[in-house]
Amino acid sequence: MGRMFKKRYNANLAAFTSKEDLGKSLHKYEPPFGFHSYVEQLEAILQIMPEVDLPKGLSSKSCKRCVVIGSGGILRGLDLGKIVDEFDITIRLNNAPVTGHTWDVGNKTTIRMTYPEGAPVSEEEYNNSSLFVTVLYKNADFLWLQSVLKNETLSVWNRLFFWKSVVERLPLTFKQLRILNPLIVKETALDILEYPQPGTKWIGWEKNIPTIGVTAIILATHLCDEVSFAGFGYDLNQPDITLHYFDNLCMNAMSRQPMHDIMKERELIKRLVKEGVVTDLSGGIHCEFCNKHLADT
C-alpha cells in the first residue's frame, strides 16, 4: 500500500479509536472522517469501553492473514467456507449472516464491522469471541452507542434519525466493543480514492462516503500482512442478478443509492488485486482464472 500510494497511506494508523488518539487530527472533520464537535461524547463512551486493540492472542501474532467477506450474491454456491475459516482474522460486514450460509461464507467471525442500522437483529450472529466494530457516521450513531453501553432506551425523537430500525441491545460484553478510527475512513475516501473534501451540498449527496466494504479492505491492510476478500463486485450492468448471498434483492437496488461511487471503488479494488496487495477469492472484481481461461481459448 505504501508503495502504491506513498504519502497518501499511513501504515501506522491505529485501527480502533482510543482516548490517546483524540488529538488534532481527529478534530478537523465531522463524522465519518473525524470527530469534530464530538470529542466530549467520545471521551464519555471510551470511559466505558476498556479495550482498544485486537485480542491479545491476535495482536501479538506475527504474519497475520485477513479475509474480508462481502455480501455479494456471487458467494452463493462457491463453497468457500473452509477456506475462509483458515484465516487469522475474518471481517464481516453489517448484518450479513453466517447462520445457514456457513458452507459458502464460513462460520468464523473475528470482527463484525457495521453502523447502527446494519447491526444484526438475530442473536445467532453474535458470539463471545468476536469484536463488534462500530462506524460512526452521524450524531444519532453516538447516541445509539451510548444507549447500548448504558443499557438505556433511545427516545422516539432520536430514532427518527435512522433510515431503518436499530437494535436496542447487543448480546456482547464491553470488552468486545470497538469504534473504528475515523482516520481509516478519511484515508479510504480522501487520500486513496481522492474524493472531494467534505462540504455542504444543498441538493442531493456528495459521493464522497466510501462503502463499508472498501473501508474494511483498507482496515484489513492495517491489521494484517496478507489480505484477501470474497463477495465483492457489484455489476450494475446486470440489474437483474442477485445482489446479496442471503436475500433476493436484485442488483438494480444498488444503483438507486445516492451516497457511494461504486464504480470508482471497483476500479480501486481491481487495481489493488492487480498490484498483488490483496487477493480476490471469489473473482467478482478480478478473476485470474477467468483471464487465463480466456487466453487459452
CB 144 within 8 A of CB 135: no
CB 230 within 8 A of CB 84: yes
CA nearest neighbour of 104 among 122, 125, 82: 82
Q: Whole-angstrom Cα distance, residue 189 to residue 201?
A: 17
Total-model pTM: 0.90
Using alpha carbons, list the distances in angstroms from residue 233 to 69, 129, 204, 214, 278: 12, 29, 25, 11, 14
Q: Which residues of the chain have pLDDT under 50?
A: 202-205, 290-297
Give per-residue burial for 202-240: e unless 16+ CB within 10 Å, then b: eeeeebbbbbbbbbbbbbbbbbbebbbbbbbbbeeeeee
DSSP, residue by residue, 87-155: SSEEEEETT---TT-HHHH-S--SEEEE-GGGS-SSGGG--TT-EEEEPP-SHHHHHHHHHHHTT----
CA nearest neighbour of 5 among 264, 275, 270: 275
Question: What pLDDT does residue 272 have?
Answer: 96
Q: Whole-angstrom Cα distance, residue 245 to residue 101?
A: 8
Q: Whole-angstrom Cα distance, residue 114 to residue 85?
A: 20
Question: What pLDDT does residue 239 have?
Answer: 58
Q: Where are the alpha helices (DSSP H) in the chain?
A: 2-5, 39-48, 56-59, 81-84, 102-105, 139-149, 156-159, 182-186, 212-223, 252-255, 262-274, 288-296
Cell output for 245 = 448471498
Domain ranges for the chain, please list them: 2-296
Q: Whole-angstrom Cα distance, residue 19 to residue 140?
A: 21
Q: Which residues contact 7 (CB under 8 A, 6 or more apart)?
A: none
Task: Decide yes or no: CATH 3.90.1480.20 for domain 2-296.
Answer: yes
Question: What pLDDT does residue 234 have?
Answer: 67
